[in-house]
């Protein structure tokens, strides 16, 4: 059995991340200090050495040592990669260490948490001309500024979409019509067939929750989740358990042919000659995700930090995103794997169910509490 991993930390713990905000500042900073030690897991080089630059990333980043080697060669700096937990934890650590950052640059904050960095004045501006056209359009929407602005707060690096995936072979064998919409998942025909992710324990699950809020509204999403619960949907803690263990489309022992995953996941289940996949993403159930990089305010080496961000936008790095991270490169000029056009499409414009980063930040804690109380998460 093969297993798939995505760069976007499917098993990230949002409950841990959000809980960190409630800690006394001194205690939180002590936890951050405990992240250090080895080249992969801490101890950023922010001591002022002009030849060194550190990049802090979430814990599902590509191989840190290989990236550091390639980035060092490309930029001329001695690049160090520091890991700092899941995307939510990383965002909170960057806010708590504002002005005395744990690294020079960062990568891996997605649109769920991006506005938190801007609102807390954590990032230095970047020249807008380093961005490809799609990146400029995305960050303009995030920041509410014009696409032709001279500076941007963050640099979009990759993007994807969380979507419900189905095991098409299972439905064909069962003689059951495939579901297509959110509403279908609550249809008695699909009772006991879905596996979902706990949005209080998984950012992928939180993204699916956000999609349901965009689709049904703040007044309707809880009732929708209750209908899923009543229809036998199983809720598990993380994406790895859901996709690689529970999902029949991947696991030989999996019994559930409906799972929350990504629009790119069917590219993983293609046959050897890449002519067919036994899974499909339901593009009417998607929510967009974008991962950002940036320069941290107070960085000991802002020039080096900008160089690393520019490397993340370079053709060399962008061309490896699809194969290594199962996300779309932000640069549309980069050639994608041949199977992606058919088996890993992004939702069409206006098709996905999205909220702005500011809307997410304003409502996330309350939504998680309300949903957790309603369905016993």
CATH number of domain containing 225: 3.40.190.10
The verdict on 146 and 234 lying in the same domain is: no
Residue 372: which pLDDT band, with cuts at 50, 70 and 90?
very high
Residue 279 has pLDDT above 70, yes or no: yes
Strands (E), 230-337: 234-236, 258-262, 279-296, 328-329
Task: Label residue 227 by pLDDT band (50, 70, 90).
Answer: very high
Name the 3-class secondary structure at 110. Answer: strand
Average pLDDT over all residues of the chain: 86
Residue whose tokens read 């489309």: 249
Residue 60 has pLDDT above 60, yes or no: yes
In a domain, residue 5? The reply is no
Q: Do 55 and 101 belong to one domain?
A: yes
Maximum mean pLDDT: which of 5-14, 209-218, 337-346, 355-364: 209-218
Tell me: do 311 and 298 sit in the same domain. yes
pLDDT of residue 104: 97
CA nearest to 264, candidates 13, 11, 14, 10: 10
Residue with structure tokens 């690393």?
308
pLDDT digits (tens, 9 = 90+) for 180-219: 999 999 999 999 999 999 988 787 888 999 999 999 999 9
pLDDT at site 149: 74
- Is residue 28 pLDDT above 70, yes or no? no
Q: Three-state SS across 178-201?
A: CCCCHHHHCCHHHCCCEEEECCCC
Domain range enclosing 202: 161-288+345-375
Count of domains forming the chain: 2
Both 239 and 226 in one domain: the answer is: yes
Q: What is the pLDDT of residues 116-170, one digit of tens each?
A: 899 899 999 999 999 999 999 898 887 666 556 789 999 999 999 999 999 999 9
Q: What is the pTM of this model?
A: 0.80
Specify whether 30 is located in the same domain as 153: yes
pLDDT at residue 237 is higher than 90? no
């Amino acid at each position: 059995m093969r297993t798939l991993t995505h760069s976007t930390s499917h098993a990230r713990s949002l409950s841990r991340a959000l809980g960190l905000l409630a800690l006394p500042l001194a205690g939180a900073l002590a936890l951050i200090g405990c992240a250090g030690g080895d080249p992969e897991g801490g101890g950023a080089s922010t001591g002022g050495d002009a030849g060194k630059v550190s990049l802090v990333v979430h814990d599902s980043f590509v191989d840190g040592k290989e990236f550091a080697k390639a980035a060092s060669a490309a930029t001329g700096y001695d690049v160090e990669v520091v890991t700092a937990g899941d995307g939510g934890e990383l965002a909170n650590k960057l806010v708590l260490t504002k002005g005395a950052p744990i690294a020079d640059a960062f990568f891996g904050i997605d649109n769920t948490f991006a506005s938190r960095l801007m609102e807390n004045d954590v990032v230095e501006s970047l020249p807008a001309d380093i961005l490809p056209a799609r990146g400029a359009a995305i960050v303009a929407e995030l920041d509410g500024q014009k696409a032709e602005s001279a500076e941007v707060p963050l640099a979009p690096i990759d993007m994807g979409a969380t979507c419900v995936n189905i095991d098409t072979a299972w439905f064909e064998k069962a003689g059951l019509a495939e579901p297509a919409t959110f509403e279908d998942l609550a249809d008695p025909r699909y009772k006991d067939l879905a596996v979902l992710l706990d949005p209080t324990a998984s950012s992928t699950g939180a993204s699916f929750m956000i999609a349901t809020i965009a689709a049904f509204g703040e007044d309707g999403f809880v009732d929708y989740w209750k209908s899923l619960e009543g229809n036998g949907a199983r809720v598990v803690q993380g994406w790895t358990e859901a996709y690689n263990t529970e999902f029949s489309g991947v696991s030989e022992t999996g019994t559930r042919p409906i799972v929350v995953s990504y629009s790119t996941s069917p590219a993983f289940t293609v046959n050897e000659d890449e002519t067919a996949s036994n899974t499909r993403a339901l593009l009417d159930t998607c929510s967009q995700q974008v991962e950002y990089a940036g320069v941290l305010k107070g960085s000991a080496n802002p020039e080096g930090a900008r160089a690393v961000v520019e490397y993340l936008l370079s053709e060399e790095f962008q061309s490896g995103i699809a194969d290594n991270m199962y996300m779309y490169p932000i640069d549309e000029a980069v050639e994608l794997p041949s199977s992606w056009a058919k088996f890993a499409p992004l939702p069409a414009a206006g098709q996905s169910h999205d909220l702005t980063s500011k809307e997410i930040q304003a409502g996330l804690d309350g939504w998680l509490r309300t949903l957790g109380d309603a369905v016993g998460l």
